[in-house]
Amino acid sequence: MDSREFAKRILARATENAEKMKETVLERTSPLSEDEITATFQSHEWREYYLGVLCPAKMITLISPEDLDLKLLLTQQLVEEYHHYQVFAKLVADRGAESDLTRFKAGPAHNGMLDKTLSWEHPVYIAATSNLTGEFILTACMEKLVTLVDKESARVIEEEVMAHEGNHIHTGRLILERYATTPEIQEKVEGLIEDRTDHFIASYSKPYMEFIGPDFNGAA
């Protein structure tokens, strides 16, 4: 399949998967306690750095020097993801909780997400699992989160985090168009997207704090 047509197909699939996430998990999420909100902000702080910053950083090193346009787009994404990390760190600190990422000890749930995203040595596979899966799922989660937190926190998340996600998805699409050029690569991309989506849904289907909370209970 032509790589541009394939990229369109993947975007449609990712949109369907995000809707599946909403219907099976997010629409059933109960109101959060204050402790659960704090743990959620800590979780997003961790994710914005480890998944948000490290993924484009690795892709920059893997992408061909001839594709400088993609490297520049990923550099911009990296800058924005680091800002997202800072946003959530401040939200955590404002709640009087531990926000020093060096003192977080991530557990299996978060490390599992990292392994399924960052372990690849080809930029198209990282883009598939981050820009074209993680960003879609993250946007769905953020849309739900802003309905569960105070108005000021919701405003900050919408204006300083969610506003950038569309650009990151677009960058992922460009990477697919450039690199997903063989049937073998395209087949693997489809499998990775489904696997990562299933991992998200399974994780969020657990009791909320079992997924979000214990990873950071040891932070002190």
- In the chain, what are the domains? 3-26+34-215 (1.20.910.10)
CA-wise closest residue to 213 among 130, 103, 108: 108
Torsion of CA 180, 63, 55, 183, to 10 degrees: 10
Distance CA 152, CA 202 (A): 31
pLDDT of residue 114: 87
pLDDT of residue 60: 98
Mean of pLDDT values over 144-167: 95
Termini Cα distance of the chain? 52
User: What H or E segment, with its residue span, contains residue 145?
Assistant: helix 135-145
Q: Would you say 127 and 175 are in contact if contact means Cβ atoms under 8 Å apart?
A: yes
Distance CA 156, CA 214 (A): 26
Burial of 159 from C-beta contacts in 10 A (0-12 / 13-18 / 19+): exposed
Q: Would you say 39 and 216 are in contact if contact means Cβ atoms under 8 Å apart?
A: yes
Report phi then psi at 34, rounded to 5: -60, -40
CA-wise closest residue to 190 among 137, 136, 141, 125: 125
Percent of the chain with pLDDT over 70: 93
pLDDT tens for 80-138 read 999 999 999 999 999 999 999 988 877 777 888 888 889 999 999 999 999 999 899 88
Q: The pTM is what? A: 0.90
